[in-house]
Amino acid sequence: MNQTQDFIQQHKQRFLDELIELLKIPSISADPSYSASVYQTADSVADHLTSIGMHHVEICQTAGYPIVYAEWTKDTSLPTILVYGHYDVQPADPLELWTSPAFEPVIKTTDIHPEGAIFARGACDDKGQMFMHVKAVEAMIKSGEMPCNVKFMIEGEEEVGSENLGIFVKENVEKLKADVILVSDTGMLANDTPSITTGLRGLSYVEVEVTGPNRDLHSGLYGGCVANPINVLAKMVASLHDENMHITIPGFYDKVVELSDEERAEMAKAPFSLEKYCKALDMEDVYGEAGYSTMERGSIRPTLDVNGIWGGYTGEGAKTVIASKAYAKISMRLVPDQDPNEITKLFMDHFTAIAPKGVRVKVTPHHGGEAAVTPIDSVGYKAAALAYEQTFGKRPIPVRSGGSIPIVAMFEKILGLKTILMGFGLDSDAIHSPNEHFGLFNYYKGIETIPYFYAHYTELTK
Ligand code: BES
Ligand code: MN
Ligand code: MN
């Protein structure tokens, strides 16, 4: 892979300039007013795949945004790596908290990224990380060192639940035939502490609506006499955790896979400073389920969080009113072997059952997905670990992440393939937040590490 590494060094500036151009297109999948930009981004990704020399590039239409698919075949007897990523991004709001506009990428230095980081929505999640693969494959093709076959499948609806990708995968099992799936859409511990993500949590997401009286009421005339939906919702939400921060929904933990003491001891070896963690977030202390460490609470344990809650008067000054309705959006992060549909049902039954007389409750499910784990004794994991060792000079630490990429569990179910999660972002990169960024160190390290994965994977499967 020497020629490949030389090629990367020679084209560093162009690799950065190209990513910056891609980051300028606001591909926000959640907001229909950006639809033209989402399509434009798909075209741009397809153009890049063509220009690096992929043999076959296709923009596959779906009921939603297109999936960009590409193939490069060396020899069908060699292994095939299927690269998955997403070109859509989260909305950029609240805009006023960005120190530079979300879709005008700039390089700035931070304490953690002294060599600079690209600030833009999607810089880390996932345009920057997805594009590392495009550039790594370019370097291998152009230097004549591609050791195996590669397929790309880049979607535009990850941030809204990947519904159409699920359908696409089911309908294209033959086309997507591969030996392993490679994804960079997660993180690592620190720039001097490489790690590989070995697990993702599942997700069940619901929206609740609590209705009291049939219209807004004067809080003096009716206060104290009727159920106030906001008071009631607050109380219902608060009751979903007990004093130990266990979730109170009956049956919620029934299928949770508990880790053995050995596994927990192994996990505890990963470097983690509670003090630094609190300091980075300006908090006096952490908060969570009794009996588990912060690392465990954020990865191997299921959780329930309100993501938004609203109702009543929130404008200037004071308006004395009892609102007719109150709302909340609630996410539950799941672990193996919790079934998202079952959990959603348990939530619905429980939430309806605890509603007092005088209110009506409606629960609407949103998207969800199952958790996933990658065993560290798989060939894919071993190849990835060797690749990191080569570029970081250190053995990577296996770490289970708290985030979700629901399609990963579907890859396993539908295609029978394990996914290797080679994430190069940092938790501090502010994904989904204002001032999202991606370190230049991380971008280039990703591009340099990926070719070694190809080489080791091909070698190990011989
Ligand atoms: N790339 C993230 C998931 C992620 C980030 C996993 C960091 C591990 C570490 C992905 O784009 C994402 O945001 N997923 C959503 C779920 C999806 C169904 C909207 C999430 O985790 O909230
Ligand atoms: Mn992502
Ligand atoms: Mn995301």
Distance 64 CA to ligand 2 centre (A): 18
d(CA 455, CA 444): 18
- Say whether both 130 and 240 belong to one domain: no
User: Dihedral of CA 33/38/44/46: which sign?
Assistant: negative
- Say whether both 48 and 95 belong to one domain: yes
Enter the tokens of residue 319.
Answer: 């308006």
Is 285 inside any structural domain?
A: no
> In terms of residue numbers, what domain contains 122?
2-200+372-460
pLDDT in tens, the chain (462 residues): 899 999 999 999 999 999 999 999 999 999 999 999 999 999 999 999 999 999 999 999 999 999 999 999 999 999 999 999 999 999 999 999 999 999 999 999 999 999 999 999 999 999 999 999 999 999 999 999 999 999 999 999 999 999 999 999 999 999 999 999 999 999 999 999 999 999 999 999 999 999 999 999 999 999 999 999 999 999 999 999 999 999 999 999 999 999 999 989 988 999 999 999 999 999 999 999 999 999 999 999 999 999 999 999 999 999 999 999 999 999 999 999 999 999 999 999 999 999 999 999 999 999 899 999 999 999 999 999 999 999 999 999 999 999 999 999 999 999 999 999 999 999 999 999 999 999 999 999 999 999 999 999 999 999
258 Cβ contact list (under 8 Å, min separation 6): none
Last residue of a domain, one of 322, 351, 369: 369
Its pTM stands at 0.95
Give backbone dihedrals phi and psi of 65, rounded to 5 degrees, phi first. Answer: -80, 150
Contact call for residues 159 and 29 (beta carbons, < 8 A): yes
- Say whether both 29 and 165 belong to one domain: yes
Is 146 inside any structural domain?
A: yes
Enter the tokens of residue 11.
Answer: 């084209």
Is 264 inside any structural domain?
A: no
* Contact 401 CB / ligand 1 (< 6 Å): yes
Is 45 inside any structural domain?
A: yes
Last residue of a domain, one of 323, 351, 369: 369
Contact call for residues 457 and 180 (beta carbons, < 8 A): yes
Contact call for residues 31 and 94 (beta carbons, < 8 A): no
d(CA 60, CA 47): 14
- Say whether both 29 and 177 belong to one domain: yes
Is 273 inside any structural domain?
A: no
Q: What is the CATH number of the domain that holds 318?
A: 3.30.70.360
Is 284 inside any structural domain?
A: no
Distance 122 CA to ligand 3 centre (A): 8
- Say whether both 313 and 438 belong to one domain: no
Structurally, the chain folds into a number of domains equal to: 2
- Say whether both 72 and 166 belong to one domain: yes
The neighbourhood of ligand 3, an ion, using CB within 5 A, equals 125
Enter the tokens of residue 424.
Answer: 């190069």
d(CA 182, CA 196): 12
Is 211 inside any structural domain?
A: yes
Q: What is the CATH number of the domain that holds 111?
A: 3.40.630.10
Last residue of a domain, one of 326, 352, 369: 369
Distance 116 CA to ligand 3 centre (A): 22
Give backbone dihedrals phi and psi of 436, rounded to 5 degrees, phi first. Answer: -55, 140
Is 381 inside any structural domain?
A: yes
Enter the tokens of residue 264.
Answer: 């927990």
